[in-house]
Amino acid sequence: MRWPILLAILAMPSSGAGAADGFPGGTFGQRDGCRYAKTGESSGADDFLLIDREAITTSTAVCHIRKVVMTSARAATLTLACESGDETGGEEAASATLKNGAWTVRLSDGTSFGPAKRCP
């Protein structure tokens, strides 16, 4: 059931200005997310994660990056607009930290995405 949701989410156009060049500084993800970034194909794995300058995409949701404030070379405060299935939320705050070459993003409600390493 998640596979059709992922396809619908990935097909949605991104709106907004996009993120600052400092975050994430390339394309980051877990294995399937990086595969999708490179080939446009996904296995539909539950652990799908892709972070790029436009969005944080998982197997069940996409969070469009609306604003980025780099607080250091390894940390950022983000404003995101997340969507899951047919549900669209308002803007929400998140923080991102870079540790050992991988980004982890935490939403204000405690939801965490990552760590996601740079895609090859």
Strands 112-118 and 102-107: antiparallel
**Segment 30-84, tens digit of pLDDT:** 999 999 999 998 888 888 999 999 999 998 899 999 999 999 999 999 999 999 8
Is the confidence at residue 89, as pLDDT, over 70? Answer: yes
The pTM of the full predicted model, rounded to 2 decimals, is: 0.78
CA distance 12 to 117: 24
